[in-house]
Structure 1
């Protein structure tokens, strides 16, 4: 590719980017046509959490105890192990 071709291509890109009217993408046109007949309903920013019974609360408590138990076990294991140059 010559330097002249690069200059012409750069000119074309500047000309295209400077256009006052830009055609929407194919996806944007498709969604606009679909929503014209069947507009989407409102969507909350954050969906409502699903109703969790006692099982949901139980799982979080058990996982907290499990993590703290593992940390305590590692501390005790390191404390009883003869680690270090002492």
Structure 2
């Protein structure tokens, strides 16, 4: 039974969370020291990714027509094979 008490006392999260002073993490301390001398520029939450590369309309049109022709040929081959 004493082992269980030591285990509970060692990992008592309620006691740790109720502490009045909580030390910041090492990263938080590093950023605070860095920003004290050189504060960061304001930035939006999510910046614009920039303009998307523009595709030419003829390439998209050719792709659509090519897919339509391929489906028509495939359907024709299936129907031709079942007619025999």
TM-score range, shorter chain: 0.5 to 0.7
Matching residue of 1:36: 36
Of structures 1 and 2, the larger Rg is shown by 2
For normalisation by structure 2, the TM-score amounts to 0.64
Gap runs ≥5 in structure 2: none
Q: 1:18 to 1:69 in 2, by over 3 A?
A: farther
Mapped to 2, the partners of 1:9 and 1:66 lie a distance apart of: 69
For residues 36-74 of structure 1, the C-alpha deviation after alignment (integer angstroms, 9 at most, x for no partner) is: 000000113323625x7xxx32x2635633552453244
> Aligned Cα RMSD in Å?
3.0
For normalisation by structure 1, the TM-score amounts to 0.63
Matching residue of 2:78: 82
Mapped to 2, the partners of 1:62 and 1:46 lie a distance apart of: 31
Counterpart among 45, 55, 65 of residue 61 in structure 2: 65
